[in-house]
């Protein structure tokens, strides 16, 4: 599998994935951080994810999403590889903690298998739109 930086031209692909999976509107491209990666296998994009940097030692890993039409095993393996890669990148950037807000049992299992610790349950997220 190949990991590369997320590029603006990947956005339309990710929007298609969001529309197939999600119950919310896709995030505008200007809400995604510069630190994003996409993993592919033989040229087919499988999974992407983003790392929001902060002015503290904690960053946020968010918007892990995969192609719903991809082979389930390939998508799962790509997701594990991408998350592990993002955690390594975060450490190289000087972060000591990575926060992520998820409600997907498959991702929870991957996070826990990679050593992440579950902190809160039964939560609700809010976004304030300031435009």
Q: What's residue 128's pLDDT?
A: 87
pLDDT tier at 13, thresholds 50, 70, 90: very high
Asked if residues 36 and 76 have their Cβ atoms less than 8 Å apart, the reply is no
Q: What's residue 35's pLDDT?
A: 97
Residue 127 within any structural domain of the chain: no
CATH number at residue 94: 3.40.630.30
Residue 119 within any structural domain of the chain: no
Scored b (16 or more CB within 10 A) or e, 94-123 reads ebeebebeeeeeebeebbeeeebeeeeeee
Per-residue model confidence as pLDDT tens digits over 33-77: 999 999 999 999 999 999 999 999 999 999 999 999 999 999 999
Count up the domains in the chain and report the number: 1
Residue 121 within any structural domain of the chain: no
Average pLDDT over every residue of 74-82: 97
Average pLDDT over every residue of 93-115: 93
- The whole-model pTM stands at 0.91
């Amino acid at each position: 599998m190949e990991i590369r930086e997320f590029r603006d031209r990947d956005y339309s692909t990710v929007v298609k994935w969001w529309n197939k999976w999600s119950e919310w509107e896709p995030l505008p491209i200007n809400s995604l951080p510069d630190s994003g990666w996409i993993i592919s296998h033989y040229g087919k994009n499988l999974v992407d994810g983003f790392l929001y940097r902060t002015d503290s030692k904690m960053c946020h890993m968010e918007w892990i999403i995969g192609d719903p039409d991809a082979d389930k095993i390939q998508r799962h393996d790509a997701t594990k590889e991408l998350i592990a890669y993002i955690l390594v990148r975060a450490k190289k950037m000087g972060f000591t903690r990575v926060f992520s807000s998820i409600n997907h049992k498959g991702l929870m299992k991957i996070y826990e298998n990679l050593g992440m610790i579950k902190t809160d349950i039964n939560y609700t997220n809010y976004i304030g739109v300031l435009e």
